Structure 1
């Protein structure tokens, strides 16, 4: 049998990249009985039928990780792309993306795109997230800024590109490799949001052992993986860091006395916008728990 990686799946067919090329394959029925579905990114073993030369996935090798949305496996890092303008930066949405990726224990890189529209605002937001402990890149499809830096951080990784519609993910991928020819879309003049252009999940090969994954954009994120309000603290790096200094171990950094986090906010050590986003998400989880 051949070993390979699933790079695309459409309508029950899986396209597996092997040493002998890309093999169109079906999954064995036994996977359905085991409630196991092959995912893009899976490393698999494929048997070639002598009758029709088609492929059959016989075994799914052990996964490093699995994402539900998008449905992919074995991702090593995530690049969260946000635009500064068109659509305007939404830090609450960004923080929810960060929480989702933190939950999956992936390495995280934030990319602020379209800096040609507002360089000053980019620098301000960049500082906020660098101080929170994130690696931040800036880019512009129009001015070809940041493309080489992106190529460097992508090497030897399977990277998922995440972010809402219209922020320029597909355009960035086209810059990384013009052969991708990813469809791009304009911003809706009515909603000021991006139009969905990416409709399928597919690994795109940039170089040896280097893949990127473009995903459908999302305007909202479900935080069902958070079971209790107290868990929200764990997904904000700077709040988690200073929370150990609070008087009470169960401190939610909301209304409790002697809260080190609120003290850091008052002193400007923790950014007030990040803190307010934390409180909004905390209350969102509280309200869900009531129902």
Structure 2
């Protein structure tokens, strides 16, 4: 039989096949010691119903390392505007990882009820100014307001969407309200650190309707950079640089010290926001362990 892994708990894989859930283990040949990618949530698998064993994992269309999830259409990058305050660095780290896996991102801002309409407009105007050329769909929502979720429901209809973001931003509350059920436990923000407490400890797929799947994923307080081998690979994860990088004199331009660099020229002419270029330098120095001045 064929199905999709919707949950994994301590070596057991829960496979949805024709709306029936089967608890399975991996057949011996599929187990590779200490390999987290043996079989992950989102995988399409073939399994033996009688033996309750997964015997084949089909090739993945894509996957994310963190959260560990495969075969998704959208990554719904979910950040709170306040409590915890929006973090541009962490947000851009998530973007890098999503672009590295060729997955389409969109943005959800939660807890918009904690700021005034004027503050919300000021925040969203600044956000769109920084990321204007990325063509990101943005949804400011109040997770408990069903009316505010209607546009989001329509956007993800017929797709597989993983909701990813820091702890405490309200992902579980958001998903509970999308599903119209209190399935997921929700948490609070630590007053001392202004960070969320981890309430989701595993990636898990839920069915919104017959064609729409949503994935709750564990929150994070920090996120690693993608692992890149070639220095020129980084700029390809900045879609807003692409129109200018083709104008560089050197094909292997890193957009740091080289002369006649299209990206640096665009920066000087305010076509690339300073915050984006600063994050590019920050990423470059962390990924390749070099300090450039």
Once the two structures are TM-superposed, the CA of residue 33 in structure 1 deviates from its matched residue by 5.8
Once the two structures are TM-superposed, the CA of residue 179 in structure 1 deviates from its matched residue by 1.7
Whether contact under 8 Å (1:180, 1:204) holds in the other structure is no
What is aligned with 2:49? Answer: 48
Whether contact under 8 Å (1:133, 1:238) holds in the other structure is no
CA pair 248-75 structure 1, distance change in 2 beyond 3 A: same
Once the two structures are TM-superposed, the CA of residue 157 in structure 1 deviates from its matched residue by 1.6
Q: Where do 5+ consecutive residues of structure 2 fail to align?
A: none
Counterpart of 2:234 in 1: which secondary structure? helix
CA pair 218-207 structure 1, distance change in 2 beyond 3 A: same
Once the two structures are TM-superposed, the CA of residue 239 in structure 1 deviates from its matched residue by 1.5
Counterpart of 1:277 in 2: which secondary structure? helix
Whether contact under 8 Å (2:144, 2:174) holds in the other structure is no
Counterpart of 1:227 in 2: which secondary structure? coil
1:98-153 CA-partner distances (Å, limit 9, x unpaired):
11011111111122222222412133213432333322222222555641121122
1:181-207 CA-partner distances (Å, limit 9, x unpaired):
211111111111111111122111111
What is aligned with 1:216? Answer: 218
Whether contact under 8 Å (2:75, 2:164) holds in the other structure is yes
CA pair 123-143 structure 1, distance change in 2 beyond 3 A: farther
Once the two structures are TM-superposed, the CA of residue 224 in structure 1 deviates from its matched residue by 4.6
Question: For the residues of structure 2 that align with 1:21 and 1:285, how far apart are their CA atoms?
Answer: 44
CA pair 33-263 structure 1, distance change in 2 beyond 3 A: closer
CA pair 4-267 structure 1, distance change in 2 beyond 3 A: same
Question: For the residues of structure 1 that align with 2:265 and 2:60, how far apart are their CA atoms?
Answer: 42
Are 2:18 and 1:16 aligned? no
Once the two structures are TM-superposed, the CA of residue 261 in structure 1 deviates from its matched residue by 2.1
1:166-224 CA-partner distances (Å, limit 9, x unpaired):
12211211121132521111111111111111112211111113211111112222225
Question: For the residues of structure 1 that align with 2:110 and 2:256, how far apart are their CA atoms?
Answer: 33
Question: For the residues of structure 2 that align with 1:275 and 1:112, how far apart are their CA atoms?
Answer: 23
What is aligned with 2:73? Answer: 76
CA RMSD, Structure 1 to Structure 2 (Å): 2.4
Counterpart of 2:67 in 1: which secondary structure? coil
Question: For the residues of structure 1 that align with 2:47 and 2:254, how far apart are their CA atoms?
Answer: 50
1:239-278 CA-partner distances (Å, limit 9, x unpaired):
1221112233333222333333233223332111112111
Counterpart of 1:281 in 2: which secondary structure? helix
Count of residue correspondences: 285
Whether contact under 8 Å (2:144, 2:173) holds in the other structure is no
Q: Where do 5+ consecutive residues of structure 1 fail to align?
A: none
Once the two structures are TM-superposed, the CA of residue 69 in structure 1 deviates from its matched residue by 2.5
Question: For the residues of structure 1 that align with 2:194 and 2:24, how far apart are their CA atoms?
Answer: 41
What is aligned with 2:39? Answer: 38
